[in-house]
Structure 1
Amino acid sequence: MPRSDPTRGYSDGDSLVGEIVREEGHIYSLAATNDLLYTGSDNNYIRVWKNLNEFSGFKSNSGLVKAIVISREEKVFTGHQDGKIRVWKTSSKNPRVYTRAGSLPALKDVLKSSVKPSNYVEVRRRRTALWIKHSDAVSCLSLVEDQGLLYSASWDRTVKVWRINDLKCIESIKAHDDAVNSVVATESLVFTGSADGTVKVWKREIRGKRTVHSLVQTLLKQESAITALVVSHVAVYSGSSDGAVNFWEMGEKKILKHCEVFKKHRLAVLCLAAAGKLLFSGAADKKICVWRREGKVHTCVSVLTGHTGPVKCLAVVEPSGEEENGGDGRVVVYSGSLDKSVKVWRVPRH
């Protein structure tokens, strides 16, 4: 097993307060809770860190870890390059031990579906596959726990909707004309961004026992691929392969209105994260821009530098009330890069 390099610490006076370097793979995905950080890389490992020290780790045989989300029940969902989604949970006896709790879709569901010809759909020319399975890389995951749903976006141009309690695929949405790079689900809406240059808004409705999604708005149509999405309160942001960030706000009759496009990156925006009035954009130019929103205008208040490779993923942890009262009230930002490192930053909220 590759040896973990010592974590380097920095003074609290700096924006950069820590770094994790483990020379085993490029970092493609991150997820953070108040005390744990999960990192996914192209060597198939998911590492778990506590106070920037390695706490646990587990390996999937499904290839590069492109997405990680964590449920309140301490289940971990991971999306992979080979189109599979894995479910992991901690041992009740030892929180450092993670075991695989299932796959999406479950093998029994695959076998059951495979006998019926109507369950096969065309995924490429002269190639069919079961509609409940992704036929290409899973690019993104989004969890809506209150609805008991998990959404997966894929390069196969679909978004699939999974019921968490029994891990069943309940709907497959042919969402775009090219790879779906991002999906963000909220209480009633789902946002998708694609390499076809569009951002789409889908409405979730319960019809009897069925959950169905219908397209309600297309926010953007452009030549540049949509590479990242984030939703913050009533605001929606998309990042593009041309380095631009677009911003929409919820208007009357729940229609999103385009408010601004802003650009600081020279290369593709690969990830976005938001906290209050702050927006963070990580890009292929190795930089992270910190944007502050005032009204409908965003200003770049700082640029976080130090990565030597493209910034592929971001995770943000906002201070809780207790921490805010006793601490400095700064937001903790984790950035993962293709330079094989994760950097930890503290950014003032005001």
Structure 2
Amino acid sequence: MRNSLRGGQRGGRIFSADNNNGRGSTQKFGRLKNSDPLEDDFTVRQKSLQLGDSPMSPPDAPLQEPSSPFSKSPWSSHLNPLPPSPPPPHSSAEDNNFSPNVLMGSLVREEGHIYSLAASGDLLYTGSDSKNIRVWKNQKEFSGFKSNSGLVKAIVIAGEKIFTGHQDGKIRVWRVSSKNASMHNRIGTLPTLKDYIKRSMRPCNYVEAKRHRNGLWIKHFDAISCLSLSEDRTFLYSASWDKTFKVWRISNFKCLESVNAHDDAVNSLVAGFDGLVFTGSADGSVKVWRRELQGKGTKHFFSQTLLKQECAVTALAVNPDATVVYCASSDGIVNFWEREKHLSHGGVLRGHKLAVLCLVTAGNLVLSGSADMGICVWKRTNGVHLCLSVLSGHNGPVKCLAVEKDRESLSGETRFIVYSGSLDKSVKMWRVSEQAPALMQNQSDGHAVPNSLSSAPSLSSGRVSPKKA
């Protein structure tokens, strides 16, 4: 099929775990409107500081200045290498045969900034602004497929179907070929042509779109920012910069509902628990919606506003036990609410210098990726959050995260494989353990702060600094 790109490692490279000094920003950034700094702030790639041999390059690669598209961005203006941190002290976790959090390697296919990730078993799907979706297996490029237009901003896997959300406002649906596991065939586009023609016959199906033009309500009029599945995996949610979210039935690809959710772009959406859906927006608010089934469709009712602030909400996540809702913001802070306390505010996690762009949860862990190029690993125990480590190694903002349970976990240890996608065009693979020793302690008010900023080590000599609200 024309949309299928087969092949093993064509152009893809993987290198062993690399080290890179953490780098931070000394200049405060402007207000973030959406979670894609490239969309608003840069159109031309810039040269970064000369850093010598890149840890992502083969040993025989010539000395060169790596290209840095974000070096002139308000995210990371005046980037300067931090002096090396002292090596991490000997950990008692090693004595207990628990492995620390480590960088396992990098997947590089220098064709675009990584905007989306999705992991399923031993497969990893990566989306970028090249319009290609690459599929990796056992840390090698396994296959790929390409959309006709629209960079890949979101990927969700629902059984045998793979849904991709794009910059052009469309959702494309793919399925692995029954004859060749390395081929992915496109089986649909949302909204479907049949649904589009049927709805277009009735004037009541038209709403005011951007620039005072009318369009069908089943279509997004701006970029899709995220995709999410309902708890029972029967509905697909799509959120967009057009200020709405839409509900799709997975079985027949029909659009059931469109909700005008916010006053600005909807940057994130997550289906939670008890039929609740959480949305976060560039207008600084987090809203809760209650889903009800009505006949063959759905109806979402506004329930409450969890947060209203000046800075944009950039990411949302619900932990696997469905007991905590996390919200990331452009001020570098992560807020959380607790289900058992009727969604009362539980506190904030402070560990980043710049905007938090993505969140992911696994077991008792929550990981936050930031424009400061670091990933904070937090562990929740008895309502208290501890920072286990700060993963550093990326040379650009961390845009997306995905996680799978490590099938090779040691006895008595809970480990995960974490994938991080960055605007440095690479995906890094980490092994993270819940039993790793903590770097941070939790204050009585629920705010997590470092024990010692001057000595708190990351896994590759990065440093963490709290960001004041």
TM-score (norm 2): 0.71
What does residue 242 of structure 1 align with? 331
What does residue 453 of structure 2 align with? none
Q: Secondary structure at the match of 2:239?
A: strand
Note closer, same or farther for the CA distance 1:267–1:325 as it changes in structure 2 (3 Å cut): closer
1:50 aligns with 2:137: yes
Check the 8 A contact 1:41/1:64 in 2, yes or no.
Answer: yes
Check the 8 A contact 1:332/1:346 in 2, yes or no.
Answer: yes
Check the 8 A contact 2:226/2:267 in 1, yes or no.
Answer: yes
Letter in 2 for 1:342: V
| Structure ranking higher on relative contact order (CA contacts 8 Å, 6+ apart) | 2
User: What pairs up with 1:33-182 in 2 under 5 angstroms?
Assistant: 33-72=120-159, 74-144=160-230, 146-182=232-268
Note closer, same or farther for the CA distance 1:298–1:94 as it changes in structure 2 (3 Å cut): same
What does residue 9 of structure 1 align with? 16
Check the 8 A contact 1:71/1:145 in 2, yes or no.
Answer: no
What does residue 362 of structure 2 align with? 275
The 10-residue stretch of structure 1 (99-108 or 109-118) with the greater mean CA deviation from structure 2: 109-118
Q: For 1:222, which of 297, 303, 309 is the aligned residue?
A: 309
TM-aligned CA deviation for residue 143 of structure 1: 1.3
Letter in 2 for 1:123: A
Partner Cα distance (1:345, 1:170) in 2: 39
Letter in 2 for 1:166: N
Runs of 4+ in 1 over 4 A off after TM superposition: 11-14, 325-328
Partner Cα distance (2:419, 2:111) in 1: 18
TM-aligned CA deviation for residue 125 of structure 1: 4.6
Partner Cα distance (2:419, 2:135) in 1: 13
Runs of 5+ unmatched residues, structure 2 = 19-98, 436-469
Which has the higher Rg, Structure 1 or Structure 2?
2
Q: Secondary structure at the match of 1:46?
A: strand
Check the 8 A contact 1:260/1:297 in 2, yes or no.
Answer: no
Check the 8 A contact 1:62/1:84 in 2, yes or no.
Answer: no
TM-aligned CA deviation for residue 144 of structure 1: 2.4
Partner Cα distance (1:23, 1:209) in 2: 45
What does residue 261 of structure 1 align with? 348
What does residue 90 of structure 2 align with? none
1:207 aligns with 2:207: no
TM-aligned CA deviation for residue 6 of structure 1: 2.6
TM-aligned CA deviation for residue 334 of structure 1: 0.3
Letter in 2 for 1:337: S
Check the 8 A contact 1:243/1:266 in 2, yes or no.
Answer: yes
TM-score (norm 1): 0.94
Q: What's the % identity of the aligned pairs?
A: 63
What does residue 311 of structure 1 align with? 398
What does residue 428 of structure 2 align with? 343
Partner Cα distance (1:50, 1:25) in 2: 20
What does residue 334 of structure 1 align with? 419
Check the 8 A contact 2:236/2:250 in 1, yes or no.
Answer: yes
The 10-residue stretch of structure 1 (118-127 or 151-160) with the greater mean CA deviation from structure 2: 118-127
Note closer, same or farther for the CA distance 1:51–1:82 as it changes in structure 2 (3 Å cut): same
Check the 8 A contact 1:18/1:344 in 2, yes or no.
Answer: yes
Q: Secondary structure at the match of 1:251?
A: helix
Partner Cα distance (1:258, 1:244) in 2: 14
Check the 8 A contact 1:154/1:180 in 2, yes or no.
Answer: yes
TM-aligned CA deviation for residue 329 of structure 1: 3.5
Partner Cα distance (2:333, 2:413) in 1: 31
Partner Cα distance (1:107, 1:171) in 2: 17
Check the 8 A contact 2:162/2:173 in 1, yes or no.
Answer: yes
TM-aligned CA deviation for residue 56 of structure 1: 0.6
